[in-house]
Amino acid sequence: MSVLVDASTRVVVQGITGHQGTVHTAQMRAFGTHVVAGVTPGKAGSTVEGVPVFDAVRDAVERTGANASCIFVPAPFAKDALLEAVDAGIRLCVIVTEHIPFHDMLVMYRYARANGARIIGPNCPGIAAPGKAKVGIIPNVVFRPGRVGVISRSGTLTYEIVNGIKEHGLGQSTCIGLGGDPVVGTSFVDALPFFEADPETDLLVLVGEIGGTAEEDAAEYIQHHFSKPVVAYIAGRAAPPGKRMGHAGAIIARGRGTAATKVAALDRAGARVARFPYEVPQMVAEIVAARAPR
């Protein structure tokens, strides 16, 4: 078992004929993902990396049984791409695209939720379950199958920390990059129940950053509903007050969403909170060693 993706995941890549779509289709296939179709209007009948291309998502679903989408469509057209995927029956949509207008994402979020679909992203690196499937752009080389779950708002920190876990001789069950925009399709609180229920996840790494209250909300959930050990890292401890750092959602306002408030909330919830990214794999290894049979 894994979280949201597994060996049965069949991916359609929307925007497959663009540079990013082509490159990451090859990488997803190298990871072992079943990329079964691509969609670019007007390119039906062609192939990319051996994957057949269709004009519409519905055609791809009917012909290949695709059940997940990876969206590389440019921001002005991302809303239409998401609505098309949901209307075609896709129930997991990973949106890599950045700079999607705020109001477009509000429409996309509500439409997906109303139709039983889940969005990961936008502006995210995607999701990966080593040995099973990857939907997105997280580098293949950082992974190793294992029992550590990872949820992160930061793409680069995801890669660094996941690679550190591997270098400590451990591996990951599932890694989800949530994205750093103000409105995302899946939050920490949305993802936590999946990892709690996953028998292949023994502990969880949570990577957050300044801005918003997603980490405080996650800490509240962890304190009352999450039974597995949690190691956390919050980026932005040195951020000047009121400044945005990195993502569009990483802005502190009215004394909320600071690194200090997030760290304090996670501390109260019983998580071990690292001061620096390199400490996270060390803490994970210590927890694994402490829980190992003697």
Coil, helix or strand at residue 250: coil
Q: Give the orientation angle of helix 279-291 with respect to helix 155-167, to 10 degrees.
A: 40
Q: Which of these is catalytic: 19, 24, 224, 247?
A: 247
Q: Are 14 and 58 in contact (CB under 8 A)?
A: no
Residue located via tokens 């997105």: 136
Q: How far apart are the first and last CA of the chain?
A: 27
Length of the chain in residues, anyone?
A: 294
Question: Is 34 annotated as catalytic?
Answer: no
| Contact residues for 190 (Cβ-Cβ < 8 A; gap 6+) | none
Half-sphere exposure of 264 (CA within 13 A, CB side): 7
Rg (CA), the chain: 19
Q: Left, alpha or beta for 174 (phi > 0: left; psi -120 to 50: alpha)? A: beta
Measure the CA angle with vertex 179, ends 229 and 153; round to 5°: 35
Residue located via tokens 């779950």: 149
Q: Are 83 and 59 in contact (CB under 8 A)?
A: no
E strand or H helix at 166: helix 155-167
Residues forming the active site: 247
